Amino acid sequence: METSNFLFIGSYRDNEIDANHPLSAELKELQKEASNTNIHVSSLTKENVNELISDTIHMPQELTITFSDIIYKKTGGNALFVTQFLRSLWDEGLLFFSLESNTWKWDIESIKRKEMHDDVGLLMSNKILQLPAECQHAMKLLACVGSSCDETTLSM
């Protein structure tokens, strides 16, 4: 089978891949065989995290700086962790919109005590465990059948 166009997007933590890792050899081989672009994504700065949070909850940056400093310390500025941590705060009621004051509020002391895992796999598996049992079952099926399936397969 001949493929004329192919797009592959991958990601990895470069601090976990050394020259002896199998991925290093594969990346070198890819660079020889195809046109590619490497994009290094670094952590967000404290200021970036504050901008992100300020924009997300539509509050001035000067009002979110203490909150965002804690989020930055918990996440190390990892953009995925920042967004997932904010979602978990919302889910747990530690970040909420007050209709009474018409503004966002947060429980700063509880947030300080909250643990943040730096393992993406653990983070995502915890998200899956929060889904209804039917959704978890469907995800297990999809993991076995590949990237697409029909309604009949899902109804199993």
Q: Which pLDDT value is given to residue 116?
A: 75
pTM over 0.85: no
Q: Measured on CA atoms in the order 16, 17, 22, 26, is the torsion positive or negative?
A: positive
Q: Which pLDDT value is given to residue 32?
A: 83
Q: Which of 118, 72, 113, 74 shows the shortest CA–CA distance to 92?
A: 113
Q: Which pLDDT value is given to residue 147?
A: 60
Q: Which pLDDT value is given to residue 44?
A: 96
d(CA 26, CA 99): 54
Blockwise average pLDDT, block size 10, the chain, 156 residues: 67 80 84 80 94 96 97 91 90 95 95 79 78 85 72 70
Token output for 142: 């999809």
